[in-house]
Amino acid sequence: SPDFDDGGSKLKRLFSQPLYNIQTPELKQEEKLLQLEQLIEYYRRKVSHWERHKKLYDEAASFTNISLKEPKMTYDPDASWLKFHLGINRYALYSRDDPTILQLLWDMENMTIVSADYTQDEKALKGACDCTQVVKPSGHHLKLALKMHNFGKAMFKPMRQQRDEETPEDFFYFVDFQRHNAEIAAFHLDMILDFRRVPPVVGRRVNLTREVFQVAHNEDLRAVFFTSPANNTCFFAKCLYMCKTEYAVCGSPELLEGSLSAYLPGLTVAPRLSIPNPWKRSYTFAEREEWEVNPFFCDSIKQAYPYNSGNRLLNIIDMAIFDFLIGNMDRHHYEIFTKFGDEGLLLHLDNARGFGKHSHDEMSILAPLSQCCMIKHSTLLRLQLLARSDFRLSDVMRESLEKDPLRPVLTEPHLLALDRRLQKILRVVQRCVRRLGKDEVITRDFIKPTATP
247 touches another protein by CB under 8 A: yes
- Residue with smaller CB distance to another protein, 248 or 373: 248
282 touches another protein by CB under 8 A: no
Considering only the stretches 154-162, 165-173, 213-221, 309-317, report the one whose residues sit in contact with another protein under the rule CB under 8 A. 165-173
Question: Which of residues 48, 62, 245, 309 is near another protein by CB under 8 A?
Answer: 245
Q: How far is the CB of 142 from another protein (least distance, A)?
A: 13
3-state secondary structure of 101: helix
367 touches another protein by CB under 8 A: no
Question: Which of residues 227, 294, 308, 430 is near another protein by CB under 8 A?
Answer: 227
- Residue with smaller CB distance to another protein, 285 or 296: 285
129 touches another protein by CB under 8 A: no
Question: Which of residues 3, 244, 303, 389 is near another protein by CB under 8 A?
Answer: 244
Q: How far is the CB of 216 from another protein (least distance, A)?
A: 17
For residue 235, the surrounding DSSP H or E stretch is strand 233-235
| First-to-final CA distance of the chain | 11
248 touches another protein by CB under 8 A: yes
Short-list 365, 338, 369, 340, CA closest to 351: 365
Question: Which of residues 66, 230, 293, 451 is near another protein by CB under 8 A?
Answer: 230
Using CA atoms, how far residue 240 sits from 16, 248, 297, 328, in Å, is 46, 9, 36, 22
Concatenate the DSSP letters of all residues of 259-284 into one string. Answer: EEEEPPPPTTTS-EEEEE-TT----S
Considering only the stretches 181-189, 246-254, 336-344, 382-390, report the one whose residues sit in contact with another protein under the rule CB under 8 A. 246-254
Q: How far is the CB of 414 from another protein (least distance, A)?
A: 19
Largest Cα separation within the chain, whole Å, is: 78
Considering only the stretches 156-164, 220-228, 374-382, 428-436, report the one whose residues sit in contact with another protein under the rule CB under 8 A. 220-228
Whole-number Å distance between alpha carbons of 188 and 354: 13
428 contact partners, CB below 8 Å, separation of at least 6: 366, 369, 370
Binding-site size, another protein (CB under 8 A): 24
Radius of gyration of the chain (CA): 23
243 touches another protein by CB under 8 A: yes
For residue 413, the surrounding DSSP H or E stretch is helix 412-436
Whole-number Å distance between alpha carbons of 331 and 341: 21
Residue tagged active-site, from 176, 318, 323, 330: 330
- Residue with smaller CB distance to another protein, 106 or 247: 247
- Residue with smaller CB distance to another protein, 3 or 287: 287
Burial class (CB in 10 A: 0-12, 13-18, 19+), 441: buried
- Residue with smaller CB distance to another protein, 243 or 387: 243
Concatenate the DSSP letters of all residues of 161-183 into one string. Answer: S-TT----TT--GGGPPP-HHHH
- Residue with smaller CB distance to another protein, 268 or 359: 359
Is it true that the peptide bond before 137 is cis, omega within 30 degrees of 0?
no
Q: How far is the CB of 284 from another protein (least distance, A)?
A: 9
254 contact partners, CB below 8 Å, separation of at least 6: 207, 208, 209, 210, 232, 233
Q: How far is the CB of 132 from another protein (least distance, A)?
A: 9
Considering only the stretches 84-92, 243-251, 331-339, 345-353, report the one whose residues sit in contact with another protein under the rule CB under 8 A. 243-251
Pairing between β-strand 442-443 and β-strand 375-376 as defined by DSSP bridges: parallel
Active site residue 323: no
Binding site for another protein (CB under 8 A): 131, 134, 169-173, 175, 226-230, 232, 234, 243-248, 250, 285-286
Question: Active-site residue numbers?
Answer: 330
